[in-house]
Amino acid sequence: MERRTTGRWSSVGAPTRRQLAGSALTVALAALSLWVVESVFWPWIGVGFVSFAAATGPVAASSVGSRVGAWFRAIGYEGRVIAIVAFVAAVWISVPLLEIPAGPLVSFANGGLLGVSAVVFLEAARSGLESA
């Protein structure tokens, strides 16, 4: 039986120094954001962390994740910009319409940023151990 490790999570190999620096900056900005908000919703940070870490880790390495990634690369640069702008616009419009409270939303988003950064650091640690 094939052994599954975090090595199957990454399709591009070890993170670069730029990606590690970006992840470190992301962690610092998320921590600062959580520090300045009036109230932190810890359960939502946890949900965001787990959701985004799973989406960028094992889910991205699954067959469905591979197909979505291939489609996203196939639509080209302009297509990716349009998809991202459309997603941001949909969230921006739906949050006030659905009257989603800002506190849990900010906590979820910051948990997501921390989750993605954790996957980057985990992959860096794993690749460092393999090369040692």
What is the tens place of the pLDDT at every residue in 1-51?
444 444 455 556 788 899 999 999 999 999 998 888 888 999 999 999 999
Residue 107 belongs to some domain of the structure: yes
Query: Tens of pLDDT along 62-97?
Result: 999 999 989 999 999 999 999 999 999 999 999 999
* pLDDT at 1 (0 to 100): 40
Q: Exposed, middle or buried, 127 (CB in 10 Å: 0-12/13-18/19+)?
A: middle
* Lowest-pLDDT range of 62-66, 99-103, 125-129: 125-129
| 132 confidence band (pLDDT: 50, 70, 90) | low
Domains of the chain: total: 1
Domain that holds residue 118: 16-131
Asked if the structure places residue 24 within a domain, the reply is yes
What pTM was computed for the model? Answer: 0.78
Is residue 64 included in any domain, yes or no?
A: yes
What is the distance between the terminal CA atoms of the chain, rounded to a whole angstrom? 26
Is residue 57 in some structural domain? yes
Tell me, what's the pLDDT at 128?
79
Burial of 70 (0-12, 13-18, 19+ CB in 10 A): exposed
Is 1 inside any structural domain? no
Nearest to 44 by CA among 111, 114, 113: 111
Q: Classify residue 3: in a domain, yes or no.
A: no
